[in-house]
Amino acid sequence: MIRFTNSVFLWGAAAVALPVLIHLLTRRRSRLIEFPAVRYLREAAAGRQALHRLRTALVLGFRCLAIAALVLLFTRPFIKAGGLTDEAQAGRRIAVVIDATLSMQQVIGGVSLFDRAKTETADLLRGLPAGTEVVILIAGARSNPLLPSLSANIPALHRRLAQAAPTMAHGFLADAAADAFRRLGDAGSVYIFSDFQHTSWHGAAISPPEGISVYFRPVGDQPADNLAVTQLAVSPSFPVVNEPVTVEATVLNGTDKPLQENLLLKFGEEAQRKRVRLDPFETGEVRFHFTMRKTGQFAGSVKLARNDSLEADNCRYFSIEARAASTVLIVSDQNPQDTAAAPYYLSAAVSPFNQSTSGTQAVCRHSQDLDADIIDAAQIFVLYPPASLAPETAALMFHRVAGGAGLLTFLDGSSSSGLLNTMQAASDGRMAPPFKPGPYLETGPNGGHAWVDIQYGQNPMKAFKQTANRGLEKVRIKQYFQTTPVESDSGSVLARYADGSSALAATSVGSGRVLWANFSIRPDRSNLAASPLLPALIHECIAFFGDGGSDNEGRPGRSWEVVLPWKGGDLTPRVVAEDGRVIESQAISLGDRRKLTIAPPEKAGFYEIRNDGGLIARAVVNIDSRESDPRRLAAENLLESIVATESRSRVATNSERATEDTQAQLWHWAGLGAAIFLLAEMLLLAFWRRL
């Protein structure tokens, strides 16, 4: 049975009569004149007149056939097979999954992959028999149906499909396929239109129920040609005034040729341009340096100087909160002037921030010299044994930490257990490490234990992630406590020793944070004292205490949290995007701070957090770097990994062009026929003129 995709063009069949009409209107009309002298000539030309009439008929025929073929080309006919099988009947319930992740915005040949997927979906809808129930899922971070449920209202689906737009989110298409299976139940067909970028299908485990057919329809067979800024690392995360800041950008070359590209940094009045060389399918790093001149919330960006086929990942945003002076109170009964004692090196590690009156200040005190004024003036506490805290002093310090201050506690030597007991007693057990200290291990004078399992994805270790040779792995500790984890532990271990003992761990107390350092920084017990790693590590710990648990960075399509250091009045925050749209948010009290849960944003860019019209924080949203990876999966390879041997579901690739209706397209032949008929007409006219 022949059907037409665009039946409205059948009205064009009336144009077949145009060549005949033109011939009749332009035909010469002769008059009969009897002239005896030409009677014999007319008899001789009688044969030519017959050939002329034959030529005219052939030319008219070719022209009419060419016009008819062109009409068929626009109507796009196809043959629909009769005698539908059970599987074809199941195809009357159809789910379409359209990949709407960021990579589908790639433009090839002037058309985005998402628009190609929409066009192919529209063609599929036009070829469906009447009464077919369809659901179309737009799959970004989650799958969103164009209509709430299966519907036979094809015109409404066409209208909604025309309005559909891609997202900037990263998603997992296997989840969208599972949603399609759930909506179909136990019978139907699922079509998946995607570029099959491997990050969206990583670990795909599609198990179609028996009775459901799955058809993969790849769009954009050409290899991706993409450049992207995939990562920004800002160090320090929370600088103080007059402190130098480094922004390190990672750039991906997703092409098969080496490139040299310019990167542009914009940060307030600061504008810098640097060049990077990139090998094919490799990354390169570029570092920008500037100095914070004043306190406040600031935002900037690093962008590629030229655009490519996927522009959305060519720019990455960052935010910086510059702070005024912080007071670090170092409590230890060792002499801070003794070059063999730990407080000497701790105060020296903080001293780089004393370059101006606004730098972070280190204050060293013996445990007997503490009073309420000194404790109230400090924002960060460092305890290094031996230190004999009075119960009242320990309780006051605990309340300051629970209210938002930071505490760095070192375990070094036999007196460490007494210090831990005092802090736990003052806090009713709330201020305790996430482990139980055991034996105190010592090595020979030339030995040392290395840190392993370092969590570079978490603060305060993030700043060392891009460091050459990962400097923290060169740390050697000669003495430390063997530890066993606490089962009820809610903290996180940031670094370990080879025997599993904790080297550095973090816990929370109220709205404050505690770092537990199970290592020594004395020069005779570690290699940290004379190492540039010590100032960097101490500084990152200071930044960690002021971090609030959030780097103020979100992802499109994903909700995220920002912790605000809010200490006064009512907080009714409004999160405002660059275009003025207000993003839904909810604030939760955390002692002296507020945790702000923000609804999923749609776009990458800058976001301001305001309260009563005043700016209290800046946040940024960056695209997921996985969307910039140009590699794709071959649909055939994907099929081999997901099709269950016991399932009766049919799975076909786009190259097979299979559908549940087993329809054969005829419009290609219509176009070929039009070309053949026009060519035959031209050859006939050219040949006849030679006779």
CA 497 from centroid of its chain's CA atoms:
34
Question: Pairing mode, if any, of strands 327-331 and 361-365?
Answer: parallel
Q: In order along the chain (691 residues), what is the average pLDDT of each group of 10 residues?
A: 58 69 63 57 58 75 80 67 43 89 89 93 90 94 92 94 94 89 90 89 75 86 82 81 87 90 92 93 92 87 90 92 82 91 89 53 89 88 92 91 88 89 88 90 77 86 66 87 79 88 90 90 88 86 66 84 68 86 82 77 91 84 90 65 40 43 59 80 73 55
User: What secondary structure does DSSP assign to 213-268, as a single string?
Assistant: EEEEEE---SPP-EEEEEEEEEESSSPBTT-EEEEEEEEEEESSS-EEEEEEEEET
Cα distance between residue 108 and residue 600, in whole Å: 29
Q: Are 330 and 344 in contact (CB under 8 A)?
A: no
Q: Are 228 and 311 in contact (CB under 8 A)?
A: no
Return the pLDDT at 604. Answer: 93
Cα distance between residue 568 and residue 593, in whole Å: 10
User: What secondary structure does DSSP assign to 589-614, as a single string?
Assistant: EETTEEEEEEPPPSS-EEEEEEETTE
Q: Which tokens is 674 given?
A: 């039009």
Q: Which residues pair with 167 in a beta bridge?
A: none
Which DSSP symbol is given to 142? Answer: S
Structural domains of the chain, with CATH: 2-80+668-689 (no CATH), 86-224+631-662 (3.40.50.410), 239-324 (2.60.40.10), 327-545 (3.40.50.880), 548-622 (2.60.40.10)
Cα distance between residue 406 and residue 383, in whole Å: 11
3-state secondary structure 59-111: HHHHHHHHHHHHHHHHHCEEECCCCCCHHHHHCCEEEEEEECCHHHHCEECCE
Return the pLDDT at 233. Answer: 86
Q: Are 320 and 372 in contact (CB under 8 A)?
A: no
Q: Which residues pair with 99 in a beta bridge?
A: 139
Cα distance between residue 122 and residue 275, in whole Å: 44
Q: Which tokens is 48 given?
A: 């030519």
Report the run of H or E that residue 194 belongs to, with start and end: strand 188-194
Return the pLDDT at 669. Answer: 75
Return the pLDDT at 2. Answer: 62
Dihedral sign of CA atoms 117, 123, 124, 126 in order: positive
Cα distance between residue 343 and residue 348, in whole Å: 8
Q: Which tokens is 466 given?
A: 């891009």
Q: Is 15 helix (H, G, I), strand (E, B) or coil?
A: helix
Return the pLDDT at 9. Answer: 60
Return the pLDDT at 103. Answer: 92
Q: pTM, whole model, 2 decimals?
A: 0.64
Whole-Å CA distances, 237 to 324, 599, 608: 14, 24, 18
Report the run of H or E that residue 493 belongs to, with start and end: strand 492-496
Residue with token string 């014999």 = 40
Which DSSP symbol is given to 129? Answer: P
In 10 A of CB 376, how many CB atoms? 10
Residue with token string 């670990």 = 203
Tell me which residue of 113, 120, 214, 203 sits closest to 161, measured CA to CA: 120
Return the pLDDT at 665. Answer: 59
Q: Which tokens is 390 given?
A: 């009075």
User: What secondary structure does DSSP assign to 271-284, as a single string?
Assistant: EEEEEEEE-TT-EE
Q: Which tokens is 450 given?
A: 């290395």
Q: Which tokens is 687 given?
A: 């040949």
Q: Are 471 and 457 in contact (CB under 8 A)?
A: no
Tell me which residue of 14, 42, 46, 49 sits closest to 28, measured CA to CA: 49
Q: What share of the chain is helix, strand, coil (3-state, %, to 5)?
A: 30, 30, 40
Q: Is 149 helix (H, G, I), strand (E, B) or coil?
A: coil
Which DSSP symbol is given to 499? Answer: T
Q: Which tokens is 449 given?
A: 């234990």
Q: Which tokens is 47 given?
A: 């044969």
Tell me which residue of 333, 406, 331 sits closest to 363, measured CA to CA: 331
Q: Are 462 and 429 in contact (CB under 8 A)?
A: no
